[in-house]
Amino acid sequence: MDKKTLRDIEVGGKRVLVRVDFNVPLDRETGAITDDIRIRAALPTIDYLIGRGATVVLCSHLGRPGGKIVDGLRLAPIGQRLSELLSRPVSVAQECVGPEVEAAVAGLKPGEVLLLENLRFHIEEERNDPAFAQALGRLADIYVNDAFGTMHRAHASTEGVARYLPAVAGFLVEKELDVMGRSLNAPARPFAAIIGGAKVSDKIAVLENILERVDLLLIGGGMASTFLKAQNLGVGRSAIEEDKLGVVAELMERARGKGIRLSLPIDVVVAPSLDADAVARTVSVGEVPADQLIADIGPRTIELFGRELRSCGTVIWNGPMGVFEIAQFARGTRDLVRLVADLEATTIIGGGSTAEAVEEMGLGGKMSHVSTGGGAALEFLEGRTLPGVAVLLDKND
């Protein structure tokens, strides 16, 4: 990685502002944390700073309060969970900027940890307001971004504050950039990409970038309907993007021209609606009834994908294979998770709902890497420079 990390700077005795991604899921009824994987992901960076006598000031957003204080989105429960994981007290501020916060930071001793209140209680955070970024910058001597999932956003805490403090990557961000960068630029071959999700329009840039790099491309999810339609196959009442049929045809032609194997579903699960109690059945792709919707890939498609993937050296996957939030339309995604987990290859899960499916099944540990970023991972796969990465110090600075 060509950006500086924690290892490249002296942190002992310094006040360090760390942007973490503690945007964890909460139970709607109790407000309890239902999955603390994002908190755990930040522990290596926090432990490193504590162990070297830094004063640690953590900042994060939670949910979408829209610049207003929402009691159900306060970070106190997260501070409590972090304290349990660190086995040491974690103070939680009532604000994230201002004189009271500055006084609280000034009172911290080396090795102590303070968690600031939800950044998005201030509308200035998402607007990347310079005054708000400066106020965050006054809290520290060094800035560390360890929130890969937010690095595609040019917000005050991800981009703006790095203009006022020396800025480096935390260990989570370093791992994300290294692993995903190697997978795109120096993969063990054959290199396969599995791309799913609802819409082609959401993944066009990914597909265009990935076509320059892969040997094999597998398409699933709702977007597969547009690919099938572009081959003049009936897709019933499935949602397709008529304005993207030409783009899809061009992508398939480019793949053929480059010698890239592009595999589409050969059988699909269909139903009259996407309701949990809808009657579903599996049909070949050429036999989708006119009154049915495609909701998932079928078992023969899983077998096909398995045959293609077992010879690969690198596999990267972004996007579910069906409407996996609904149990009867989740089998394709779940079967593919199990298949990928058993591959003897470098396997990278590109964040978002795909990562959620992997973690929900308890198979994250069997993958080479599960990205903590949804939109950030997607934009990285598109080949974009993420704003939160661009402002970090270069190795030669």
Report the CATH number at residue 277.
3.40.50.1260
Which pLDDT value is given to residue 319? 92
Q: Which of 69-78, 195-204, 255-264 has the lowest mean pLDDT?
A: 195-204
- Amino acid identity of 193? A
Average pLDDT over residues 239-253: 93
Average pLDDT over residues 345-369: 91
Q: Is 364 exposed, middle or buried (0-12, 13-18, 19+ CB in 10 A)?
A: middle
Task: Give yes or no: residues 322 and 365 share one domain.
Answer: yes
Q: How far is residue 57 from each of residues 32, 41, 146, 204, 281, measured CA to CA in Å? A: 23, 17, 12, 39, 53
Task: Give yes or no: residues 91 and 18 share one domain.
Answer: yes
Task: Give yes or no: residues 234 and 359 share one domain.
Answer: yes
Task: Give yes or no: residues 116 and 168 share one domain.
Answer: yes
Number of domains, the chain: 2
Crossing angle between the packed helical segments 43-51 and 171-185, to the nearest 10 degrees: 130
Whether 384 shows a pLDDT value over 90: the answer reads no
What percentage of the chain has pLDDT greater than the value 70? 100
- The answer to whether residue 1 sits within a structural domain is no
Which pLDDT value is given to residue 133? 98
Which pLDDT value is given to residue 381? 85
CB-CB contact of 350 with 374 (8 Å): no
- The answer to whether residue 135 sits within a structural domain is yes
Task: Give yes or no: residues 52 and 89 share one domain.
Answer: yes
Task: Give yes or no: residues 29 and 166 share one domain.
Answer: yes
- The answer to whether residue 396 sits within a structural domain is no
Q: How far is residue 304 from each of residues 190, 231, 300, measured CA to CA in Å? A: 16, 19, 6
Task: Give yes or no: residues 156 and 281 share one domain.
Answer: no
Given pLDDT bands bounded at 50, 70 and 90, which one contains residue 373? confident
Which pLDDT value is given to residue 98? 96
- The answer to whether residue 387 sits within a structural domain is no
Task: Give yes or no: residues 359 and 317 share one domain.
Answer: yes
Task: Give yes or no: residues 311 and 377 share one domain.
Answer: yes
Task: Report the C-alpha gap between 23 and 26 in whole angstroms.
Answer: 9
- The answer to whether residue 219 sits within a structural domain is yes
Last residue of a domain, one of 150, 175, 200: 175
Task: Give yes or no: residues 314 and 270 share one domain.
Answer: yes
Which pLDDT value is given to residue 380? 87
- The answer to whether residue 89 sits within a structural domain is yes
Which pLDDT value is given to residue 397? 72
Structure tokens at 68: 């207003």
Q: Is 138 exposed, middle or buried (0-12, 13-18, 19+ CB in 10 A)?
A: middle
Task: Give yes or no: residues 192 and 128 share one domain.
Answer: no
CA end-to-end span of the chain, whole Å? 14
Which pLDDT value is given to residue 350? 86
User: Residues 55-89, buried b or exposed e (16+ Cβ, 10 A)?
Assistant: bbbbbbbbeebeeeeeeebbbebbbebbbebbeee
Last residue of a domain, one of 127, 153, 175: 175
Residue with tokens 């004063």, as numbered in its chain: 55
Last residue of a domain, one of 118, 147, 175: 175
Task: Give yes or no: residues 225 and 103 share one domain.
Answer: no
Which pLDDT value is given to residue 82? 97
CB-CB contact of 36 with 78 (8 Å): no
Domain that holds residue 134: 6-175
- The answer to whether residue 388 sits within a structural domain is no
β-pair partners for 297: 268
- The answer to whether residue 166 sits within a structural domain is yes
Average pLDDT over residues 240-267: 94
Residues marked active site are found at 38, 199, 352, 375
Given pLDDT bands bounded at 50, 70 and 90, which one contains residue 374? confident
